[in-house]
Structure 1
Amino acid sequence: MYGSEVTLSRARSTTARRIVLAFGAVLLLFAAALVVIVVGLQKIGDAEEKVRRLDHAKHAGHYAAGLAREQYIHQAHTLLEWNESHLPHYYEVAVEAREATEHLSHQVHRPEARKIATLVAESDRRFREEVLPAIAANRRDRIAELHEMTEHPVEEVVALNEALNRSLEAEADTAQRRAELIRSRAQIAVFVCFALAIALALAVGGYLMRSISRPVAALRAGAVKIGSGDLSARVGLRGDDELAELAGVFDRMAEDLGRHQAELLEAHRLASIGQVASGVAHEINNPLGVMLGYLTLLRRDAAIGEREELRILEDETRQCQAIVVGLLDLARPPHLQRSDVDLGELARDATDRLAESGRSEGVTVRVRDSAPVQVSADEGKLRQIVMNLVGNAVEAVREGGAAAPEVEISWERRGERAALHVDDRGPGISADVRARLFQPFFTTRARGHGLGLAIARTLARAHGGDIELNDRTDGPGTRATVWVPAESGQEESA
């Protein structure tokens, strides 16, 4: 099942995170534009409020100056008429003038405003304390002096009010210009933010097109190819997001489907071979047995020159028998009689048998001592696998032409599996040849029938294992490895 390989439900979703970040950036720019608008409006409002306050201050200054002049007018009329007829109106205006100037000094914290309030109060005080007693004493000789005394403060008040008004107008103009500048900058900032947001939105759209639409199209194209029967099709996406991960799972699924299809075809081919072999084995073996019997009799009575030719005929006949037996072994399900087998002892036994048969003549087959490894297997069939692999290694080092040809056998345990390795220093195996070595009847040797490795793999898989052929990592040559399940309770090899 593929469920163990699929990790698309992991908590951290790469594609979702990228989409959220992309749209979050767009929203952030819009939020920045909104902040600029709000802050700009706030600053503009503050500036306009300041202009409004300054306008009120100017009006307050004009109003206070007007009351000061009106206060002076009543003072002047009192001096001119030299009586107290204007005093009721004067007292009312004096109170209003005092209140207006005090309000101005509180509203505008400037020396001019405080000076105006002081002058108006001082003018009222001197009018009450000096002008009115002089009129009551009928001191007409002081009219000019008293008139100048009352006129001078109002002139100074008018001058101070004009200076205050100019200052307030300048400050109001500055505040107005600042408000306009803030408005202009806010408009530019908003335009820039919206332009960037639009550009980023287009970039996000392009990113989504590349990172989602194209991978989905590639997945669809791969699915169409596989659906049409092309199990070699691969999506081949690279990346660390869910779509690339899904494409990897898709490619592994296609690879597994291709492998399973190849295994089914192989099983079908073997079944066909088995049907043919079982049908003709008896018919072929009987004549071959008769031929071998006659050849044996003929060799016994033949002349010396003919015995070699008869021996060749006998070897070829036995080769035909071996092919028939191999076909039967390849086609029918092997029946295993399992027992505890020590891989070291099995390797030494296979080596001895090869030496006794002369098949390893001229080649040193060395068994490297390792920690004992026990497996549950059919000893005879496992020995057949090992002898086939060692025999092939012996032939390979002979072809390599080494001065001291040697084959080494070792074994180890890795987790729940045990491995027996056969290493040679032969010429190695090309990738094209390695892909076909386990096919029945494929061989690179003149006298081979191409069934040895196919039978060996069938036996290994019947044990729940397999056979691998790889190049050696420490130089030229090949390492053949048979994997079988290890006995439980053993320690893994170091």
Structure 2
Amino acid sequence: MKAGNPLKTFHFSTEMKQSVSPSTYPNDKTFLVHELQMKKGELTMDDLKHKQAELESKSLELEQEIIDKQQTLMNLHQAIQTATSKFQAASASHLAAGLAHEIRNPLTTIKGFIQLLKPELQADRKKEFADVALDEINRANTLLTEFLSVLKPGSPEKRKLSMNKLAESILKLFSSESILKDIQFKGTFPKDELYVWADENGIKQVLVNLLKNAFEAVEGNPATRPEITLVVSKLEENVSVSVIDNGSGIDQLSLNKIFTPFYTTKAEGTGIGLAISKQIIESHGGQMSVVIEHNKTIFKFALPAV
């Protein structure tokens, strides 16, 4: 038994030696170097991923900055174009106004001389030529006045104004013309007074322009009995005024251009009246529009009520 024990112990020790022999595991130095190389590789990949994420983030920031700069440049370009257009428009308006004044001066002189010559022309039975010349000069002066009112609208003198009373006075102003031309002209006004803060002369000019157009429109439509209605009403926070006629109507092309300065379908029209009227209403903080409903033309404007 004593002789067998060393054999068993020796055999066990041999197996243990074999289990930790150099052929099974590398020596300590080799193992550490390998482990360090793996860690170094792992750190390098993490760094690359982190750098890549940083670069992608910076790239997105740069792209957004480029978009912002491009938008800024576009806005600046538009601002320059707008400023240039306004400057050119102001210069053109100033030049046109000066030209209109220069034209008016010699017309005044010519008119004066024709009036001086009128008695002599009358003696020669040629007075009608002087009358025609004076009428044409007066028409030219009227055109120049309207043209200047578009370029340089006057400063309105606003006050609290009753639209009921103004509309009633306009109704009386056109009553004689409506009787002579057999036009049914009526007004529809509320019992309560409706007030606006406005320049009376300016609003009166608008109403006169709209009604003159309405009278001309119904005269051009003999198929039905001409009718014109002036309506004043309250519309939410505004005072609404409408001029309604059953005249010849307005085609779609003219409807789109009706408020464009100098656009007209009339043989002797100037195309300025409606443009001035719209300008006056908008200078009072109001709006003007035109619609065709049930074969009737409706010009309407609204002003803030007070």
Q: What is the TM-score when the length of structure 1 is the normalising length?
A: 0.42
**Aligned mates of 1:264, 1:405 — CA distance in 2:** 48
- Alignment match, 1:381: 202
Q: 1:309 is paired with a residue of what secondary structure?
A: helix
Picking from 264, 282, 288, the partner of 1:467 is 288
Supply the AA of the counterpart residue of 1:337.
E
When residues 375 and 270 of structure 1 are mapped into structure 2, their CA distance, relative to the original with a 3 A threshold, is farther
When residues 375 and 267 of structure 1 are mapped into structure 2, their CA distance, relative to the original with a 3 A threshold, is farther
- Alignment match, 2:94: 275
- Alignment match, 2:121: 302
How far has the Cα of 1:294 moved from its partner? 2.4
How far has the Cα of 1:276 moved from its partner? 2.8
How far has the Cα of 1:355 moved from its partner? 5.2
Picking from 238, 243, 253, the partner of 1:422 is 243
- Alignment match, 1:284: 103
- Alignment match, 1:407: 228
How far has the Cα of 1:274 moved from its partner? 2.6
CA contact (8 A) 1:277 1:324 kept: no
- Alignment match, 1:482: 301
- Alignment match, 2:156: 336
**Aligned mates of 2:178, 2:121 — CA distance in 1:** 28
The within-5 A match list for 1:224-373 is 271=90, 274-303=93-122, 306-354=126-174, 361-362=180-181, 363-371=183-191, 372-373=193-194
How far has the Cα of 1:417 moved from its partner? 1.2
How far has the Cα of 1:368 moved from its partner? 2.0
CA contact (8 A) 1:421 1:482 kept: yes
Q: 1:328 is paired with a residue of what secondary structure?
A: helix
Q: 1:439 is paired with a residue of what secondary structure?
A: coil
- Alignment match, 1:456: 277
When residues 360 and 327 of structure 1 are mapped into structure 2, their CA distance, relative to the original with a 3 A threshold, is farther
The within-5 A match list for 1:48-127 is none
When residues 382 and 321 of structure 1 are mapped into structure 2, their CA distance, relative to the original with a 3 A threshold, is same
Q: Deviations over 1:17-46 (max 9, x none)?
A: xxxxxxxxxxxxxxxxxxxxxxxxxxxxxx
Q: 2:186 is paired with a residue of what secondary structure?
A: strand
How far has the Cα of 1:411 moved from its partner? 0.9
CA contact (8 A) 1:274 1:328 kept: no
When residues 440 and 354 of structure 1 are mapped into structure 2, their CA distance, relative to the original with a 3 A threshold, is same
- Alignment match, 2:79: none
**Aligned mates of 1:265, 1:312 — CA distance in 2:** 44
Supply the AA of the counterpart residue of 2:285.
G
How far has the Cα of 1:381 moved from its partner? 0.4
Supply the AA of the counterpart residue of 1:296.
Q
When residues 365 and 265 of structure 1 are mapped into structure 2, their CA distance, relative to the original with a 3 A threshold, is farther
Q: Deviations over 1:154-213 (max 9, x none)?
A: xxxxxxxxxxxxxxxxxxxxxxxxxxxxxxxxxxxxxxxxxxxxxxxxxxxxxxxxxxxx
Q: Structure 2: any 5+ residue segments left out of the alignment? A: 1-70, 72-81
How far has the Cα of 1:269 moved from its partner? 8.4
How far has the Cα of 1:267 moved from its partner? 7.3
How far has the Cα of 1:369 moved from its partner? 3.1
Q: 2:288 is paired with a residue of what secondary structure?
A: strand
How far has the Cα of 1:307 moved from its partner? 2.9
How far has the Cα of 1:418 moved from its partner? 1.1
When residues 299 and 408 of structure 1 are mapped into structure 2, their CA distance, relative to the original with a 3 A threshold, is farther
**Aligned mates of 1:360, 1:385 — CA distance in 2:** 22
**Aligned mates of 2:296, 2:290 — CA distance in 1:** 11
**Aligned mates of 1:449, 1:437 — CA distance in 2:** 12
**Aligned mates of 2:212, 2:106 — CA distance in 1:** 30
The within-5 A match list for 1:136-151 is none
How far has the Cα of 1:275 moved from its partner? 1.5
RMSD: 2.8
How far has the Cα of 1:478 moved from its partner? 0.2
CA contact (8 A) 2:249 2:295 kept: yes
**Aligned mates of 1:418, 1:305 — CA distance in 2:** 56
Using the aligned pairs only, state the percent identity.
Answer: 27
How far has the Cα of 1:399 moved from its partner? 0.8
CA contact (8 A) 2:189 2:233 kept: no
- Alignment match, 2:212: 391
When residues 300 and 482 of structure 1 are mapped into structure 2, their CA distance, relative to the original with a 3 A threshold, is farther
With 386-395 and 297-306 compared, the bigger mean Cα shift is at 297-306
**Aligned mates of 2:132, 2:187 — CA distance in 1:** 34
CA contact (8 A) 2:178 2:185 kept: no
Q: Structure 1: any 5+ residue segments left out of the alignment? A: 1-226, 228-262, 488-494
**Aligned mates of 1:404, 1:265 — CA distance in 2:** 52
Supply the AA of the counterpart residue of 1:309.
F
The count of residues paired between Structure 1 and Structure 2 equals 223
CA contact (8 A) 1:470 1:478 kept: yes
How far has the Cα of 1:471 moved from its partner? 0.5
More strand by share: 2
More helix by share: 1
**Aligned mates of 1:265, 1:433 — CA distance in 2:** 30
When residues 428 and 268 of structure 1 are mapped into structure 2, their CA distance, relative to the original with a 3 A threshold, is farther
Q: 1:302 is paired with a residue of what secondary structure?
A: helix
